[in-house]
Chain A
Amino acid sequence: MEALFAAALGILTASGVYLLLRARTFPVVMGLTLISYAVNLFLFAMGRLHTGVSSVIAEGAEYGDPLPQALVLTAIVIGFAMTAFVVVLALRSVGEMQTDHVDGQEPGR
């Protein structure tokens, strides 16, 4: 399972990086979102992958690692705030520069 997980994460990252390198803002935001998924899963995986363990304190139960979970939980929410910020920045850039190119001007100008 670990190999599959790693492969899926690799594909997720590769997709994100490719989109991140595009010239228009919207694909870049999408790439950023994909990468933040990948990063969250990566951090989560640092606590190892456990199936069927208890997430709350119970008598005689086995537990996953709660610390990466707590970190990732806030990271998801902050990731949303960051995505929102970048999206609005992109909109503002369109409003001011009349282009959605990441450099704020159409190429060749």
Chain B
Amino acid sequence: MALALIIALPFFGVIFPLLTERLGRSACSVAAGIAPLAALAILLSKQSAVFAGEVLRVKLEWLPTLGLNLSLRLDGLGFLFALLILGIGLLVILYARYYLSKQEPMGRFYAFLLLFMGAMLGVVLSENLLLMLMFWELTSLSSFLLIGYWSARSDARKGARMALAVTGGGGLALLAGILLIGHIAGSFELSRVLASGYAIRAHELYPLALVLVLLGVFTKSAQFPFHFWLPHAMSAPTPVSAYLHSATMVKAGVFLLARLYPALAGSEWWFYLVSITGLVTLLVGAGMALFQHDLKGLLAYSTISHLGLITLLFGVDTRLGAVAAVFHIINHATFKASLFMAAGIIDHETGSRDMRRINGMWKYMPHTAMLAMVAASAMAGVPLLNGFLSKEMFFSETLNLHMLGSFNWVIPAGATLGGVFSVAYSLRFIHDVFFNGEPINLPKYPPHEPPRYMKVPVEVLVFLCLLVGIVPAYTVAPLLAAAASASLGGELPVYSLAIWHGFNLPLFMSFIALFGGVLIYSFRQPLFRWYAGLPSMDASLLFERGVVLLVETCTAITQRLENGSLQRYLSLLLGAALVVVTLGLGPLPEVTGAVAMTPINGIGALGLGILALAALVTVVFHRQRLVSLLMLSVVGLMVALVFAGYSAPDLALTQLSVEVVTIILLMLALYFLPAQTHGESSSIRGLRDFILAIGSGVMVAMLVFAVLTRPYDSISSFFLANSLSGGGGHNVVNVILVDFRGFDTLGEISVLAIAGVGIYAMLDGLRLIQPRADAQGRNWARDRHPLILATLSRVLLPMALLISVFIFLRGHNQPGGGFIAGLITAVALILQYVASGVQWTQSRLPLNYHRMAGAGVMIAGLTGLGSWLFGKPFLTSTFGHVAIPLVGEVELASAMLFDLGVYLTVVGATLLILANLGKLTQEKAGQEVL
């Protein structure tokens, strides 16, 4: 559990600085330091085990089915990085105490910093790759907060946004890469992944997985062409730059290269992708660094260049190269963090970071100058400093390459050129800032040494640079060995950390770099003039422009697709459906199936013919709405007849009664709508609709024909066999509705009731213009309620109700049931409304249709719940036979109660809709049509 604590402590520590913020800056920074200090102590207590080559693991299952576990791992590599994160983190906490001014919210700063620290520790100590990715994204998020700490400044916000966009986007690619690796290796646990390196490289998806992982690595470690975010992240407070952009976050990318080295390295893909990217980044970064006038800009580009160097070392894919890379990670972290801190001190004391104005600082702050000069020399690779050792290893590695054939000289030459520039910009940092005359027009003058303790972190780091540079074997050797062997996943190659290797080619390259650097620096003035003449390339401007362009393109595409025309959406939808069905039907060898067709009978053919003809007439006369509506009712009646003809009496009855209410409904609606539709579609649109309609029709016809002529197996035999014995009814359709599939029916009547209530709500407060005359200008008839209709309908009502009761009662055994009975009742009641008007009917028939529909759903639901009383599942039905004197034996089924609920809902909902729509027509007295 100690491992989990190392990660958890910084997260817990987030609250301490927030709580102690009011007690002053010193108290706040001490509080912030507690958690990392404790974590560092725990880490160091594991040192001997790790150096002995042990791999400490903790595993807690989290989402094992997804392969995501809370599993952690501490080996040499993780130890090295955790040490850097915690150690430099503590120094940065001390440094920031003096860097931040009193007015700045220090608690928030430390809270963000600790959040980032925890996330970073999570990245380096995760055993599970998915877990690592979560921490990886968390570092992107927390670095966004840190870069944007001075949120009032626009450059800080822009820089933070750019860093988040680039590293976050890379994180997504990394996620995809990790998922692929997990798929290939069969696990996301590092130990499994690292052990299956051979299988991964042999897999056909390896190139894709590698490219995706490298995208994540290159964006995080600011490799060309994704390097542009790092210089813009320099708008962060300098402690943040010292921490994130030298020692930790940008190292997460190269950490992953080291971590996955055994799994991914060792292929041509790896060699070319990683080494060429590294080489280009090394050169671009080193070249650009020389031309920066901003102190932090120089350091940022130099960081890019050194990260390129580390990447190149991993890319050359020799075991010794990986050792040199790990070594350079350590060295770069120490000298670059101290340089950033020194730059921060200079900025803090002079108020400027412009190297053209800051000159001659040696006179004003000799102590700081000394420290910065040592660190800059380490960066340049001057002997007796740590940078020299790893740079020598780097040069000698570049000489051992044979992958490029006759172009083998390219990498050593590039490395030497990078070295030349590295010396030149380091020299510029030293000479331009600390010597080179007097300062020019500084905001704070005269500058002086910073507070004592602000220099302590720099002193510690510079001391380490010297110590490692002079006695490497007694200081860094065991740490390097543990980390490198963990990265390589096995035996270390033979290497020597000696300062002196004799006169050899790498030493010669170092000399070239030193003298070349001095030479270039001495020609800096013409070079700067040349650079100033180049067209300016502002990455942030390009980035912002890219973002704007992306948004505009997306908007344009969206607006082309979604221009607000519903007709267009619908035609796209139908077109897409046509394409899908065509693709689905495509593989059929032929439409006609094996089953023989039934012979044509005259009456059936006539019925279908009328159906088709009526449908066509509906369309042809669709501009004359009333005519079209009448033809529609013919179609509906023919559909009912088709049901009757094909032995479905229940359907025929339902269709017949629904047809009546539908047509009444549409008639009512038509009263408020224009009687005619004017032609307004363009010819092209008309043609498009025609083609879509024909296409849909042909497709449906083919589909139906294909199905009908093919053999068929149904689950209905179950219902037929069990209807009588299990449901107690002869009418299988009804038994299915109220018993077998009762739950469906319950849902359906609920929908019906909800639709009724919804329509009621939509009609509430609706005001429509009431036409005084019909389309031809004739006034409506004065006789609104013809006497014959009124009289007849009143006579018909009891008969209709009687029939509906009959239909309801016999429904379980004969065609009928709650749905049909409900519709018949509804039709009978609506007839009263039509014949005598809404007011007349409602005063005599004060039914509350809301309650009726609600009661129906409730009865059906309660019937279902009733079966719980008997310990049966929801909606279990029962039936029995009761002997009633005189009447004889009567069957009673609980399903009939359920059917009663259906009946009430249908009546309630139908009348809720129609009666309320009818009411609209009588807003003014004497105007009602119903």
Residue of A17, A41, A46, A94 most packed against chain B (CB within 10 A) = A17
**Interface flags, B672-693, vs A, CB<8A=1, else 0:** 1110010011000000011011
B748 at the interface (CB under 8 A from A): yes
The answer, yes or no, to whether B666 is at the interface (CB within 8 Å) is yes
Give A26-64 as 1s and 0s: 1 = Cβ < 8 Å from B's Cβ atoms: 110110011001101110111111111111111000011
- A2-B709, A50-B647, A70-B737 known; A34 vs B618 contact (CB < 8 Å): yes
CA distance A46 to B758 in the complex (A): 33
CB neighbours (8 Å) of A54 from chain B are 647
Number of residues from A at the complex interface, CB < 8 A: 83
Q: Which of B190-198, B390-398, B621-629 contacts A (4 or more CB under 8 A)?
A: B621-629
Which residues of B748-799 are within 8 A (CB) of A?
748, 751-752, 755-756, 758-759, 762-763, 766-768
Does B909 touch A at the CB level, under 8 Å?
yes
Report the nearest A residue to B706, measured CB to CB.
Answer: A6
Given known contacts A2-B709, A73-B651, is B689 in contact with A30 (CB within 8 Å)?
no
**Chain B residue nearest to A83 in the complex (CB):** B662
Across the interface, A84 reaches (CB within 8 A) one of B604, B744, B751, B913, namely B913
Select the stretch in B258-266, B479-487, B712-720 that faces chain A: B712-720
Q: CA of A43 to CA of B707 in the docked complex: distance in angstroms?
A: 11
Are the C-beta atoms of B598 and A73 separated by less than 8 Å?
no
- Cβ of A26: which chain B residues have Cβ within 8 Å of it? 625, 669-670, 673-674, 677
Residues of the B chain whose Cβ atoms lie less than 8 Å from the Cβ of A18:
619, 689-690, 692-693
Interface set, chain B 590-644, CB cutoff 8 A to A: 597-601, 604-605, 608-609, 611-612, 615-616, 618-619, 622, 625, 628-629, 632, 635-636, 639, 642-643
Q: How many Å lie between the Cα of A9 and that of B708 in the bound state?
A: 13
> What CA separation (Å) do A60 and B601 show in the bound complex?
26
| A103 CA to B242 CA, complexed, in Å | 59
Chain A CB within 8 A of B456 CB: no
Give chain B residues whose Cβ lies under 8 Å from the Cβ of A6: 701-702, 704-705, 708
Question: B499 on the interface (CB 8 Å rule)?
Answer: no
Given the known inter-chain contacts A1-B600, A23-B681, please indicate yes or no for A66 contacting B733, CB distance below 8 A. Answer: yes
Contact across chains for A17 and B705 when beta carbons are under 8 A apart? no
Instruction: Find out whether the CB atom of A44 lies under 8 angstroms from the CB atom of B701.
Output: no
Find out whether the CB atom of A87 lies under 8 angstroms from the CB atom of B693. Answer: no
Q: Does B225 touch A at the CB level, under 8 Å?
A: no
| B646 beta carbon closer than 8 Å to chain A | yes
A37, B701: Cβ atoms under 8 Å? no
Q: How far is the CA of A7 from the CA of B701 in the complex (A)?
A: 5
Q: Among the interface residues A8, A29, A51, A83, which one has the most CB atoms of the partner chain B within 10 A? A: A8
Q: Nearest Cβ distance between residue B576 and chain A, in whole angstroms? A: 14
The 30 listed contacts between A and B (C-beta, < 8 Å) are A1-B600, A2-B705, A6-B704, A10-B698, A12-B611, A12-B615, A12-B635, A12-B697, A15-B619, A18-B690, A19-B619, A21-B689, A21-B693, A22-B622, A22-B689, A27-B622, A34-B632, A50-B646, A51-B646, A52-B647, A55-B647, A57-B730, A63-B716, A64-B648, A73-B737, A81-B755, A81-B756, A85-B758, A91-B763, A94-B672
The list of the 9 closest CB pairs from A to B, nearest first, reads: A14-B697, A10-B701, A18-B693, A6-B705, A81-B755, A70-B736, A66-B732, A10-B697, A21-B689
- The chain A residues found within 8 Å of chain B, CB to CB, are 1-27, 29-30, 33-34, 37-38, 40-42, 44-58, 63-67, 69-70, 72-74, 76-85, 87-92, 94-95, 100, 102-103, 107
Beyond the given A91-B768, A95-B768, could you list 7 further A-B residue pairs with CB under 8 A, ordered by the A residue number?
Answer: A6-B701, A9-B704, A23-B681, A55-B815, A73-B737, A85-B755, A91-B766
